[in-house]
Copies of this chain bind each other. A is one copy, B any other.
Amino acid sequence: MSGNSFGSLFSVTTFGESHGPAIGCVIDGCPPGMVLSEADIQPELDRRKPGTSRHVTQRQESDKVEILSGVFEGKTTGTPIALLIRNEDQRSKDYGNIVDTFRPGHADYTYWHKYGIRDHRGGGRSSARLTAPAVGAGAIAKKWLREKYGTIIRGYMSQLGEIAIPFDDWQHVHANPFFAATDDPATIAKLEAYMDDLRKQGDSIGARINVVAQHVPVGLGEPIYDKLDAEIAYAMMGINAVKGVEIGAGFASIAQKGSEHGDELTPEGFIGNNSGGILGGISSGQDITVSIAIKPTSSIRTARNSIDQQGQAGVVQTFGRHDPCVGIRATPIAEAMLALVLMDHALRHRAQCGDVQVTTPNIAEKI
């Protein structure tokens, strides 16, 4: 209830702070009998981890995951799976100058007011480092969904600041440091130059990430409140720095007429996907398409006006290691959160309606 658990039937409870001894999570509700080891989880953590290019924070964390429970003789047992990641590179002294002044746009102001405690060490619990356990849990959800239904969940960066990034092909996403779905050299060069400039300025920038789930069974999602799109919005807006979420046509729906927005059906499947794969809060079997807005990092080297805990005016600058664009590492996080939502709803569907039918794959295929 204190907001550190995600999901109801496939439930992930995380713990840890950016500069404490360890971070991790407990995953409850995983079906028994699935082959699982650290090797299934580590690659997803490696996609998110810091220090992989000059465009992200230079903090050195191997993010090596240890499975503490819930797996016996290489298979899930149906009991809780605990994942542990030890923090390795806690250079807390870097944060000394922001111990009692609030950073504009940062959670330090609200945490201090809520809890009366200030964990200045890298943002403590509010750090984006705390997305790592969810990425670990997401890897397990992805595996189960892929093996059970053939579901594939992938994301990419579609915009960096004002630079729109074209979608060319999924295969390019891992071939550049931006999770861009393009191999156009000019675009990649432009992104690199932009980030290099930004770093020199000591400033940061926002980004847009798109996530797509394919081969999703029809029927996932609950009516009224736990609609699949509502839960996706919750999951995505809960990622650090996200300020907006769209499903399908999203904000473009405002100016659409009903005769344009509603995706017509043929015996071969849907024509168009303005719905983003969700109708009335329930998956339709089409691709689920999500797009999110990520704000620029609030910890920047640029001096800014602020106040301290006593309410005195001052100037604050952040010299610790930070991502100049938190959006760059957000793609695997958004994928993981979408996987967790789908996994949870797959189990919820199973509880009330029996095992889900993987119907009309052709519909999803066509789009």
Contacts and interface: CB of A to CB of B under 8 A. Distances in A.
A261 B198 CA distance: 15
A230 B234 contact: yes
A357 B227 CA distance: 30
A334 to B, nearest CB: 13
A265 interface: yes
Question: How many copies of the chain does the oligomer comprise?
Answer: 4
B15 A119 contact: no
A5 interface: yes
B26 A15 contact: yes
Interface in A1-22: 1-6, 8-9, 11, 13-17, 20-22
Nearest to A354: B355
Interface stretch (A56-64, A123-131, A182-190): A123-131
A174 to B, nearest CB: 23
B280 A106 contact: yes
A97 interface: no
Given A24-B82, A77-B117, A281-B238, A227 B3 contact: yes
Contact of A267 (B15, B206, B307): B307
Interface residues of A, number: 154
Contacts of A221: 3, 110, 114
Contacts of A205: 255-258
A250 interface: yes
Interface in A342-367: 347-355, 357, 359
A117 B311 CA distance: 42
A108 B281 CA distance: 11
A296 B253 contact: yes
A5 B32 contact: no
Interface string A110-139: 110111110101001110001000000000
A77 B80 CA distance: 25
A307 B51 CA distance: 52
A77 B124 contact: yes
A110 B1 contact: no
A110 to B, nearest CB: 4
A28 interface: yes
Contacts of A203: 257-259
Nearest to A237: B233
